Structure 1
Amino acid sequence: MSTSQAADPTERAKPKALTKRSGSDRLAKLRLHLGNIYRLVIKELRSFRSDPIMLLLVAYSFTIAIHAAATGASTEATNLSIGIVDEDHSDLSRGITDGLTPPTFRRVIQLAPTEIDPAMNAQRVLFVIEIPTQFESDILSGKQPTVQIDIDATAAAQAFNGMTYIQNVVIGYVTDFVTRREGMAAAPAKAVTKVKFNPNLKSSWFTSVMQIISNLTMITVMLTGAALIREREQGTVEHLLVMPVVPIEIMLAKILANGIVIVASTALSLLFVVQWWLQVPITGSILLFLAGSCFYVISVAALGIALGTIASTMAQFGLLSIPVLLVMMLLSGSTTPLESMPVWLKYVMLVISPTPHFVIFAQDVIYRGADASIVWPEIVAMAAIGSVFFAIALYRFRRVIFSG
């Protein structure tokens, strides 16, 4: 016969009540944190709205600066000044002269041999073609006469591209002339070049999007760092210390507020400046590009806050951010390919910086029309590096602001 008594129903109900109460407490705390973050975001947006210099800087960086960089820093060969020294005065030499046409070249300037150096020193011409005497007769007799091309390589990109165009013109006209005069058959094979993603090799198509990435990086670091420095200089950060907020709420509010401004500016710049003003076709999904931009902005904003905790004034922050931004942008693959870097440096940048991953992501989405199944490794890499940056920034923020 059992002597044990039935358990008290109130005792059995206690664990369920405690679980329900703890769940509701966690939900209430989450709502409190989200409410604090929301109010701090509104505060940051109002602070940004009241700063006309920052408003003007963001507006300029995503409009006029993009257009100026895309159209003013052209690397393709257009409107090149060229002179020719024609000592042969034959049909072939006149044909070569007539083949140097706009928009690649300006009107050809006829020069005497003694005028070559003065014309190049005075920057009247970038290229000079020297056609020797008896050029046509030497070609017909089977000899291989030499055509000399003098190049002003001060602008290296235009010099290389222009030299390629001139060589193609000369070789093309000579081949066509010999074929027609000798009754020779056409070449047994013909090379056909097909250029994908940028058929006319217009540098503005590449430069415009890469300039958006550079300006996005620079403005994000400046906005987040300046927001923290401004509060430290004005003493308003002390007001936050006595409020019922925690460091991560303040950090998230600054990142989210500035991220909203930057991502919105990027979207408007991509639609109205790049696609409409510059007439650059966008092959991929703009929404996917903006989604990846959110991960990148969070990473760079965390870096800006970390730099803001190191510097105590705006002047110090500016001097500190310049070398960091230069290294990030110059070694990101937006100006020169990653493949042209030393192998060790390439992998170092891919490990410590989110910018190369964002450049690869942007080129794949905007130019090649890649979808999420292709670019997800770059998004994961940006998120991983951003998590490290965020942890470092939060540690510095707690130590400098809340423990200082």
Structure 2
Amino acid sequence: MGKIYNRLEGEKKARKAMFQRIWSLIQKEFIQVGREKATLIMLLIAPFLQLVIIASSIHMDITHIPLIVADQSNDARSRAYLDAMVSSGSFDIAAHAASEDEIIRMIDAGQATIGLVIPPDFAARVERGTAQVLLVMDGSNAFSAQSAASAAAAIAQQYAIGTTQRQIAPPLTAHITILYNPALKDLWFMIPGLIANTLQAQTLGLTAMAVVRERERGTIEALLVTPIRPIELMLAKTIPNLAIVACNIITVLVLSTTLFGVPFAGNLGLFIVLCCIYAVCGLGLGLVISTVAQSQTQAMQFTVLITFVAMFLSGFLFPSYALPPLLKALGYVFPLTYFIPISRGIFLKGVGIPELWGPVLALLGLLAAILFASAKLFRQSLD
């Protein structure tokens, strides 16, 4: 009996010691996680961000599509039809135009994705059952164009049914003209945005590790004792990566047009210049991450988080106007938000600076802010 008792007591003490060791290790891990506050915050907010951003940005039925109206009839019938368009929740009137040509110019400038032309004799044609409106759509955003076409056709049919119950033929039909991507091919819509998203991921990844890698290896101290100035070191970290990105820009352009058959309609030189400006934005943002992060793992976590959030808030997959106001405002801090319309505009529409001056100026302003922040943080990280 004594041996059994001693054995049981020994096993009890061993289990107690095991639990004490496990508890000590758990406490150690909690302390370690608590020291890395940035990682802890990221781990806590990542599920929240994923749920809110994905649930808010993914809409199969897009509403509040910006609409440009050229009401050449301007009578009770045309106003009733416009009221039906707006009250459906599918469209918001963004601007008014005088003609189809003006609508196309405004679509080129990115003011809206769809235009509506109501002919001068609209009311009389409705009475005769021969009325037809013209819908001009931006096919460079295939997802929005498909949603807009379906919604506009349904509204026209409902308006026709409500106008008269006697006529066999519908008194109103909608003729749809799709610009830049008449067949609404998904690849034509995706490739220009995919180029922008790929460049963002690459530029962030190239410089996000720059400073933190030197710090972890212990080579940052050796650099500090040399006569190299912070701005010189910053340029040395950035310029080789920019050369790599420039080569990749040419590669993705060739693949897009040859392998995937997406037509390039714009000015190649302008596109490459704006790609390089956008790439410098990404490299600068990566440098900001590198100076803030405490480890390479943390830098990679920041990079993945920024890439994920920007992808959903920039209009890459779904139009930004469908986002809640707060998330839409958050999207404006990412260079990708401004380069998406630039890429699609030059690639598919063939437009230039006169139409793209808004996103180009915004991208340049963001570039100045990023370079200022990265230079200041880089200098502080070396002090």
**Aligned AA for 2:351?**
A
- Is the Cα–Cα contact under 8 Å of residues 291 and 378 in structure 2 kept in the other structure? yes
* Structure 2 unaligned regions, length at least 5: 1-59, 61-142, 158-166
Could you tell me how far 1:188 is from its partner in structure 2? Answer: 7.9
Give the match's secondary structure for 1:193: strand
Cα drift, residue 209 of structure 1 = 1.7
C-alpha displacement at 1:303, in angstroms?
A: 1.1
1:209 to 2:182 alignment: no
* Aligned equivalents of 1:382, 1:191: Cα separation in 2: 38
Structure 1 length normalisation: TM-score?
A: 0.51
Distance in structure 2 (CA, Å) of the matches to 1:311 and 1:188: 64
Q: In structure 2, how many angstroms separate the alpha carbons of the residues matched to 1:289 and 1:227?
A: 28
Q: Residue by residue, what CA displacement relative to the aligned partner does 1:271-312 show, whole Å, maximum 9, x if unpaired?
A: 2x1100000001111221111112211112111111111223
Shift of 1:242: 2.3
Secondary structure at 1:207's aligned position in 2?
Answer: helix
Partner of residue 361, structure 2: 380
Partner of 1:235 in structure 2?
Answer: 218
Aligned to 1:218: 201
Q: Distance in 1 between matches of 2:170 and 2:321?
A: 36
Partner of 1:369: 350
What amino acid is aligned across from residue 365 of structure 1 in structure 2? I
Asked if structure 2 preserves the Cα contact closer than 8 Å seen for 1:295 and 1:379, the reply is no
> 1: distance between equivalents of 2:231 and 2:194?
32
Q: Cα 1:389–1:187, aligned 2, differ >3 Å: closer, same or farther?
A: closer
Relative to structure 1, is the Cα distance of residues 397 and 187 closer, same or farther in structure 2, using a 3 angstrom cutoff? closer
* Secondary structure in 2 matching 1:194: strand
> Whole-Å Cα distance in 2 between the matches of residues 370 and 239 of structure 1?
49
% identical aligned pairs: 28
Match of 2:377 among 379, 386, 396: 396
The structure that has the greater radius of gyration is 1
Aligned partner of 2:340 in structure 1 is 359
Which whole-Å CA distance do the structure 2 matches of 1:385 and 1:222 have between them?
A: 19
Does the CA contact (< 8 Å) of 2:197 and 2:336 recur in 1?
A: no
SS of residue in 2 equivalent to 1:195? strand
In the superposition, relative to structure 1, how do residues 213 and 253 fare at CA in structure 2: closer, same or farther (>3 Å)?
same
Aligned runs of 1:126-141 on 2, under 5 Å? none
Partner in structure 2 of residue 284 of structure 1: 266
- Residue 337 of structure 1 deviates from its aligned partner by 0.7
CA distance in 2, matches of 1:279, 1:369: 16
CA distance in 1, matches of 2:311, 2:171: 47
Aligned-residue offset at 1:250: 1.4
Structure 2 length-normalised TM: 0.54
Between Structure 1 and Structure 2, which shows a larger proportion of strand residues? Answer: 2
Q: Distance in 1 between matches of 2:346 and 2:327?
A: 25
Runs of 4+ in 1 over 6 A off after TM superposition: 184-190
Q: Which runs of 5+ in 1 are unaligned?
A: 1-74, 76-156, 172-183
Question: 1:256 and 1:377 mapped to 2: Cα distance?
Answer: 27
Go from structure 1 to structure 2 and tell me whether the alpha carbon gap of 1:189 and 1:309 turns closer, same or farther (over 3 Å shift): closer
Distance 2:169 2:306 in 1: 57
Measured in 2, the distance between the counterparts of 1:267 and 1:279 equals: 15
After superposition, the Cα gap between the structure-2 partners of 1:399 and 1:262, relative to the gap in structure 1 and judged at 3 Å, is same
In structure 2, what is the equivalent of residue 81 of structure 1? none
Equivalent position to 2:301, from 319, 324, 328: 319
2:346 aligned partner, one-letter code: V
Secondary structure at the aligned position of 1:283 is classed as coil
Q: CA deviation at 1:230?
A: 2.7
Aligned pair count reads 225
Query: What CA distance in whole angstroms lies between the structure 1 residues aligned with 2:238 and 2:355?
Result: 28
Question: Counterparts of 2:342 and 2:349 in 1: how far apart (Å)?
Answer: 10
Instruction: Determine the structure 1 residue equivalent to 2:291.
Output: 309
CA distance in 1, matches of 2:173, 2:340: 36
